[in-house]
């Protein structure tokens, strides 16, 4: 019997007054409420009281998320204007040669001097040399909340031929055991990003190879038959590559370890390497092979994920300073890379995932199983949460869900299914996280990028991706329109997409 998991259940907010507001939406609402209260307190006049009530109602309407998109009017308007501002300042596009970039008078003169797209932010890197040869590149990201380090690994997957159904689940079990091993309070690795990159297989080289070895006298009809068969398979044949990015926050504990090795880039590089080395040992269970990428291979990967016209393994002459490709993000629904590749990125909202039990292989349907081949990159970002903290969150969620369910029943309110789903999901989490269990918590974020050369091809890829998502138990993909120039970074191996 197939192992089952619950991925959904977070179908509504447990925030104060519901609404699932962003911190800026809370700030805007609080500002309107303060103004309304100030009018009433200061003027104490019926007109002022009426104006205060209208102001409070307007603030509530403007900053309350609603609809399928689950966003407030204020958030949607701010997103639109922020995209227009990036277009006006040239920040939504990137030109490696600097052409087309502009620096408005209200920005520093260096604002237009970028060597990477805006969403990349401030990142530096350095190499860690191995004694036996080779090296590992370490990224240091300067983020608003906290700095963090990251490294990139390539994995080859579980090796084997025909496996029984229960054996096919072993990589998933091993993957879960790996995440559990990294989710402890003492682990320096807190973010694990899994990237699956899929491109159509090019069968032309195979046909040339076979054609050069066809014996003389082979019937023409047989040769045409094989070529026709290969042509039919070419529309469905795919190449799959899997990569991991490991994120390590810049903590006092990590720097204390680094100080034992001399501090600076050398010390922190060795400290990061020690953590990665332990993780690689755990990874060799669920995956057949693991290798750490150096600067050239990481740069080649990042370049190929932006522009599939580049060979993902061709690392000669490319560096992390030159791997960023020209991109035009002025269109609200797509980014055009090198004037050729139309790119669109989506995320998956928790409320759009089925609340029913799903096979453990469910999300693999995002990677394979489509009718036609198209270019796509799927990123699953795991923010690991130690058991004690995850258990406390689960207890709070069960308390809120139980209270709302009982309150609704007491008032005779008919549940639309969301209350029952929320209570079921939080209760299952609490049961899994009970004291003494081997499980830990994880916050999961999913991002998907599709690419095509034409608008029609991009629409076909979007439709095909949505069909594959539906088969994986995801009712809807949330395309990150008016943020596409910022969203593309989520499917690059930089351990982004969740708060560190």
C-beta atoms surrounding 10 within 10 Å: 19
Rounded Cα distance, 481 and 490, in Å: 14
The pLDDT of residue 106 = 45
H/E element holding 122? strand 122-129
171 pLDDT higher than 80: no
Could you tell me what percent of the chain has a pLDDT over 90?
36
Q: pLDDT grade, residue 69 (50/70/90)?
A: low
For range 296-318, the mean pLDDT:
94
- Which two structure tokens, joined as six digits, stand for 481? 């329109």
pLDDT at site 188 = 92
291-295, 421-425, 457-461: range with lowest mean pLDDT: 421-425
Cα distance between residue 486 and residue 345, in whole Å: 10
Which residues neighbour 460 within 8 Å (Cβ) at sequence distance 6 or greater? 372, 374, 452
Q: What are phi and psi of 245, to 5 degrees?
A: -120, 125
Contact 447, 324 (CB under 8 A): no
What is the tens place of the pLDDT at every residue in 31-53?
A: 888 888 888 888 888 888 888 88
pLDDT at 439: 83
Q: For 3-13, write each residue's pLDDT tens digit.
A: 777 776 665 66
Q: Rounded to the nearest 10 degrees, how much is the dihedral formed by the CA atoms of 241, 487, 117, 104? A: 170
- Lowest mean pLDDT segment, chosen from 51-65, 78-92, 407-421: 407-421
- Six token digits for residue 185: 């309070």
Q: Is the pLDDT of residue 461 over 60?
A: yes
- Predicted confidence (pLDDT) at residue 165 exceeds the cutoff of 50: no
Residue 487 or 2, more confident:
487
Q: Residue 337 corresponds to which tokens in the numbers above? A: 């890379």
Q: What dihedral do alpha carbons 261, 126, 317, 378 form, nearest 10°?
A: 110
**Percent of the chain residues past pLDDT 70, beyond the cut:** 79
- pLDDT above 80 (res 158): no
The pLDDT, as a whole number, for residue 400 is: 78
For 224-259, the pLDDT digits (tens) are 665 665 555 555 677 888 999 999 999 999 999 999
pLDDT digits (tens, 9 = 90+) for 99-144: 444 444 444 444 445 678 888 988 999 999 888 778 999 999 988 7
pLDDT band at 208 (very low <50, low <70, confident <90, very high): low
- For residues 449-460, give the mean pLDDT: 96
Give mean pLDDT, residues 324-331.
94
Phi, psi of 322 (to 5 degrees): -120, 5
Closest CA to 376 of 275, 473, 279, 477: 477
What are the tens digits of pLDDT across the range 330-368? 999 999 999 999 999 999 988 888 877 777 777 888 888
The per-residue pLDDT for 283 is: 86
User: For 195-209, 268-282, 317-331, 451-465, which range has the lowest pLDDT when averaged over its residues?
Assistant: 195-209
Which pLDDT does position 101 carry in this prediction? 42
Average pLDDT for 86-110: 66
Question: How many residues does the structure list for the chain?
Answer: 500
Does position 21 have pLDDT exceeding 80, yes or no? no
**Nearest alpha-carbon partner for 498 in 430, 447, 449:** 447
* Cβ contact 279:289 at 8 Å: no
Q: What is the pLDDT of residues 378-419, one digit of tens each?
A: 999 999 988 888 888 888 877 877 877 777 666 666 666 666
Taking each helix axis from N to C terminus, what angle separates 73-89 and 46-62, rounded to the nearest 10 degrees? 70
**Which segment of 80-94, 200-214, 355-369 scores lowest on mean pLDDT?**
200-214
Phi then psi dihedrals of residue 366, to 5 deg: -75, -25
Q: Tokens 């004690």 correspond to what residue?
A: 388
Q: Report whether pLDDT(152) > 90.
A: yes
Average pLDDT, the chain: 81
- Rounded to an integer, the average pLDDT of 52-61 is 86
**In this structure, what token pair is assigned to residue 116?**
């990477």
- In angstroms, rounded to a whole number, what is the distance separating the alpha carbons of residues 219 and 213? 14
| pLDDT on residue 104 | 45
Average pLDDT over residues 85-96: 89
pLDDT score for 250? 93
Can you tell me the distance from the alpha carbon of 336 to that of 14, in angstroms, rounded to the nearest whole number? 39
Q: pLDDT-derived band of residue 19, with 50, 70 and 90 as boundaries? A: very low
- pLDDT confidence bin for 370, thresholds 50/70/90: confident
**What is the pTM for the complete model shown?**
0.85
d(CA 492, CA 449): 10
pLDDT of residue 378: 95
Q: How many CB atoms lie within 10 A of CB 67?
A: 9
- Where in the chain are the domains? 105-491
Positive or negative: CA dihedral 465, 470, 472, 474: positive
Q: Is residue 329 a contact partner of residue 120, using CB atoms and an 8 Å limit?
A: no
């Amino acid at each position: 019997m197939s192992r089952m998991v619950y991925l959904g259940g977070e179908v509504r907010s447990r925030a104060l007054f519901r609404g699932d507001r962003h911190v800026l939406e809370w700030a805007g609402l609080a500002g309107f409420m303060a103004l309304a209260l100030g009018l009433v307190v200061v003027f104490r006049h019926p007109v002022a009281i009426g104006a205060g009530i209208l102001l409070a109602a307007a603030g509530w309407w403007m900053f309350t998320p609603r609809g399928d998109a689950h966003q407030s009017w204020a958030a949607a308007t701010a997103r639109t204007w922020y995209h227009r501002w990036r277009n006006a300042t040239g920040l939504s596009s990137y030109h490696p040669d600097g052409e087309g970039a502009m620096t408005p008078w209200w920005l520093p003169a260096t604002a237009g001097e970028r060597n990477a797209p805006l969403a990349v932010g401030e990142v530096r890197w350095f190499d860690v040399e191995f004694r036996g040869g080779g090296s590992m590149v370490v990224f240091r990201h300067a983020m608003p909340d906290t700095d963090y380090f990251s490294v990139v690994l390539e994995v080859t997957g579980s090796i084997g031929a025909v496996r029984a159904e229960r054996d096919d689940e072993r990589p998933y079990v091993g993957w879960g055991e790996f995440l559990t091993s990294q989710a402890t309070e003492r682990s320096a690795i807190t973010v694990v990003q899994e990237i699956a990159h899929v491109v159509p297989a090019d069968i032309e080289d195979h046909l040339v190879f076979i054609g050069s070895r066809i014996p003389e006298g082979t019937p023409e009809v047989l040769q045409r038959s094989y070529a026709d068969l290969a042509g039919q398979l070419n529309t469905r044949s795919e190449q799959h590559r899997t990569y991991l990015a490991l994120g390590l926050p810049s903590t006092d504990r990590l720097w204390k370890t680094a100080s034992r090795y001399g501090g600076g880039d050398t010390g922190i590089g060795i400290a990061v390497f020690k953590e990665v080395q332990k993780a690689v040992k755990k990874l060799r269970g669920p995956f057949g092979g693991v290798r750490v990428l150096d600067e050239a291979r990481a740069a080649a990967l990042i370049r190929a994920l932006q522009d599939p016209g580049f060979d993902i393994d061709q690392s000669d002459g490319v560096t992390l300073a030159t791997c960023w490709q020209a991109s035009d993000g002025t269109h609200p629904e797509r980014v055009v890379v090198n004037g050729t590749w139309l790119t669109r990125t989506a995320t998956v909202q928790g409320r759009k995932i089925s609340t029913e039990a799903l096979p453990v292989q469910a999300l693999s349907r995002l990677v394979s199983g489509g009718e036609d081949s198209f270019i796509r990159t799927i990123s699953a970002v795991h923010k690991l949460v130690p058991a004690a903290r995850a258990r406390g969150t689960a207890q709070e969620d069960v308390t809120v869900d139980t209270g709302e369910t009982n309150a609704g029943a007491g008032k005779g309110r008919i549940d639309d299914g969301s209350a029952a789903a929320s209570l079921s999901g939080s209760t299952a989490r609490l049961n899994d996280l009970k004291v003494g269990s081997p499980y830990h918590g994880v916050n999961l974020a999913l991002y998907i990028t599709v690419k095509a050369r034409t608008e029609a091809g991009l629409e076909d890829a979007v439709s095909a991706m949505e069909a594959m998502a539906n088969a994986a138990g995801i009712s809807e993909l949330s395309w990150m329109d008016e943020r596409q120039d910022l969203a593309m970074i989520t499917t690059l191996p930089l351990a982004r997409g969740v708060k560190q």
